[in-house]
C-alpha cells in the first residue's frame, strides 16, 4: 500500500508539473498573438486572446486546487514540497502574463500612425520579441528545471529594461501624436516590460526548486 501511495503521489506531482508547463506554452502564444495584433492593427484577434485568457484562468484555478489537495493529503517535504509551492507561484505569474497579453490585444486599434511610426514599430517588435523570448525561456527552464536557462532569463531582463526606456524616450519625442494614443503606447511598453519581470520571477522559482540561493528582486512582481 505504501508503494502504491508513493506512486500516486509522484503521478500527481508529474501531472501538476505538466499542467503548469502547458499553461506556460499557452501564455507564450497569447503574448505573441497580442503583439502581432497590435502591430497589425487587427482588432479581430482580440477575441482569440480573450478566449485563451479564460482558458488560462481556468487552468490556474485547477492548479490551485491540485496544489491544495497535494498539500493536504500528501504532506510533501524537501524538494517535492518546493516543487509544489513553486508551481503555484509559477502559475500565478503565468496568469498575470495572460492578463497582460489581453491588455495589449485590447489596444490593437487604439494606436494610429502618428504613434506607430517606423521607429516605434521597431521598438514594439523588439520589446515583444525580447519579452516573449524571456517568457518562453522561463517556461523551458521550469519544464526541465534547468538552472542555467533560468539564469539566462534573469540576465536578459536588463536588456528588456533598456528597450523599455528607449521606447518611452521615443514616445516623448513625438510631436504630432495625440495624448491618448501616446498613453496607450506607453502602457503597451510597460505591459511588455512586466512580462519580462514575471519571466524573471518564474526563473527564480526554478532555482528555488533546485535548492539554489539565487533570487532576483521580485518585490514588485505585482
What CATH number did the domain enclosing 19 receive? 1.20.58.220
In a domain, 197, yes or no: yes
Residues 103-121, mean pLDDT to the nearest whole number? 95
The mean pLDDT of the chain is 93
Q: How many domains does the chain have?
A: 1
pLDDT at 219: 40
Least confident piece of the model among 3-17, 19-33, 77-91 = 3-17
**Rounded to whole angstroms, what are the CA distances from 217 to 11, 72, 128, 131, 197?**
33, 30, 22, 18, 9
CB-based burial label for 32 (10 Å; 0-12, 13-18, 19+): middle
pLDDT at 53: 98
Region of 193 please: left (phi>0), alpha (psi -120 to 50) or beta.
Answer: alpha
In a domain, 220, yes or no: no
> Are the C-beta atoms of residues 3 and 103 closer than 8 Å to each other?
no
- The helix/strand/coil state of 53 is helix
Tell me which residue range forms the domain holding 153.
Answer: 2-209
In a domain, 169, yes or no: yes
In a domain, 172, yes or no: yes
Strand ranges, E, within the chain: none
Distance in Å from the first CA to the final CA of the chain: 43
In a domain, 152, yes or no: yes
- Rounded CA-CA distance 83/142 in Å is 10
Q: Half-sphere exposure of 58 toward its Cβ, with a 13 Å CA cutoff?
A: 7
Dihedral, CA of residue 115, residue 120, residue 124 and residue 130, to nearest 10: -160
Which tops the pLDDT comparison, 3 or 57?
57
- Grid cell, residue 142, equals 521550469
- Grid cell, residue 35, equals 503583439
> Are the C-beta atoms of residues 134 and 202 closer than 8 Å to each other?
no
Inter-residue long-range contacts of 218-222, CB under 8 Å, 24+ positions, other chains counted: 221/93, 221/197, 222/96, 222/194, 222/197
In a domain, 173, yes or no: yes
Q: Encode pLDDT of 123-133 as tens digits.
A: 999 999 999 99
In a domain, 219, yes or no: no
- Grid cell, residue 162, equals 533598456
Residues 204-210, mean pLDDT to the nearest whole number? 97
In a domain, 126, yes or no: yes
Angle at Cα 31 formed by Cα 26 and Cα 33, nearest 5°? Answer: 90
Amino acid at each position: 500500500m505504501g508503494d502504491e501511495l508513493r506512486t500516486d503521489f509522484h503521478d500527481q506531482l508529474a501531472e501538476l508539473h505538466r499542467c503548469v508547463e502547458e499553461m506556460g506554452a499557452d501564455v507564450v502564444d497569447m503574448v505573441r498573438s497580442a503583439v502581432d495584433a497590435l502591430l497589425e492593427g487587427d482588432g479581430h484577434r482580440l477575441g482569440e486572446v480573450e478566449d485563451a485568457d479564460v482558458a488560462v484562468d481556468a487552468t490556474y484555478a485547477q492548479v490551485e486546487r491540485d496544489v491544495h489537495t497535494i498539500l493536504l493529503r500528501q504532506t510533501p517535504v524537501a524538494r517535492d514540497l518546493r516543487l509544489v509551492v513553486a508551481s503555484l507561484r509559477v502559475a500565478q505569474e503565468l496568469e498575470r502574463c495572460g492578463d497582460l497579453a489581453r491588455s495589449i490585444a485590447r489596444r490593437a486599434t487604439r494606436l494610429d500612425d502618428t504613434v506607430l511610426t517606423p521607429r516605434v514599430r521597431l521598438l514594439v517588435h523588439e520589446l515583444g520579441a525580447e519579452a516573449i523570448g524571456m517568457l518562453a525561456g522561463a517556461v523551458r527552464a521550469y519544464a526541465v528545471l534547468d538552472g542555467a536557462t533560468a539564469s539566462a532569463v534573469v540576465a536578459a531582463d536588463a536588456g528588456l529594461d533598456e528597450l523599455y526606456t528607449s521606447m518611452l524616450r521615443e514616445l516623448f519625442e513625438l510631436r504630432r501624436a495625440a495624448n491618448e494614443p501616446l498613453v496607450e503606447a506607453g502602457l503597451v511598453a510597460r505591459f511588455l516590460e512586466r512580462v519580462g519581470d514575471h519571466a524573471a520571477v518564474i526563473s527564480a522559482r526554478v532555482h528555488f526548486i533546485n535548492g539554489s540561493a539565487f533570487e532576483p528582486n521580485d518585490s514588485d512582481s505585482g
